[in-house]
Amino acid sequence: MWRLFLSRFLENRLALLSAIFLFSLFIMSIFAPWLSPYDPFKIDVNAILMPPSPSHPLGTDMLGRDVLSRLIFGARISLKVGFVAVGIATIIGTILGAIAGYYGGAVDAIIMRFVDIMLCFPSFFLILAVIAFLEPSIWNIMVVIGLTSWMGVTRLVRAEFLSLKERDFVLAARALGASDMRIIFKHIMPNAMAPVLVSATLGIPGAILTEAALSFLGIGVQLPTPSWGNMLTAGKDNLEIAWWLSLFPGLAILLTVLAYNLLGEGIQDALNIRIE
């Protein structure tokens, strides 16, 4: 099955290119101290608002800092937010969805009504409200995004469990005396993880956009730590005289979010294995 999945995924050129791009971005963020041509925090008064040139391929900002170096270090923030926030949301959603789908009845009703209540609140404004009471730091942002974006995963896992718990292999495990926890995590969960993987892949760009929006508003990652969102804020203030400050961080966000969406769609198509 995995061979068939891999062959189908490799046939999707857009998904393959997206995977290569994201892998390159991941490697670049890991080796950022060695790949960055300059120190992203170094202020150079002799190079303030320089346009793209051989010495500074993406130009410099209003403090003379190299935009390319700050863009490379900003990738660390975006990838960290995406993985950690979606990881938190996936863990919470998977556990609650598994419990609701397996036990049903009153347990299912309570969990799903709680999901409905959470969905009534606009996620972004809920995040803004929580961040307003907390210190604006990268860890607070990741946790808050994760704690406000698990509802979709819960519904997805619940639907999978409602279908799978009536299968013969589950009935056989129950007849052999397997405990509920063993049936949930050993027998049903592995068969329900394919759509969760797709959902997590598609959820990462949402987390990246949320972090960028919070940093753009000034309540996300705080300066001088570079993030693509606060780089856009600097670009907004100097848009008429330094177009490169907005263009390159915006392109980085656009390409990364697009790559994750194309990768998620490619994984989804590859997992939809049907006999034609």
pLDDT digits (tens, 9 = 90+) for 41-71: 888 888 888 888 888 898 888 888 989 999 9
Could you read off the pLDDT of 99-142 as tens digits, one per residue? 998 898 899 999 999 999 888 877 777 777 777 777 777 888 88
CATH fold for the domain made of 2-36+67-271 = MetI-like fold (1.10.3720)
**Dihedral (C-alpha) 149, 144, 248, 74: value to the nearest 10 degrees?**
-130
Domain boundaries, given as residue ranges, for the chain: 2-36+67-271
- CA gap 170, 163 in Å, rounded: 11
Lookup: tokens for 145: 């995004």
Closest CA to 259 of 6, 8, 11, 21: 21
Are 123 and 182 in contact, with CB atoms under 8 Å apart?
Answer: no
Residue of higher predicted confidence among 219 and 188: 188
- CA gap 150, 148 in Å, rounded: 6
Residue 273 scores a pLDDT above 60 = no
- CA gap 41, 9 in Å, rounded: 40
**DSSP symbols for 159-195:** HHHHHHTTSHHHHHHHHTT--HHHIIIIIIHHHHHHH
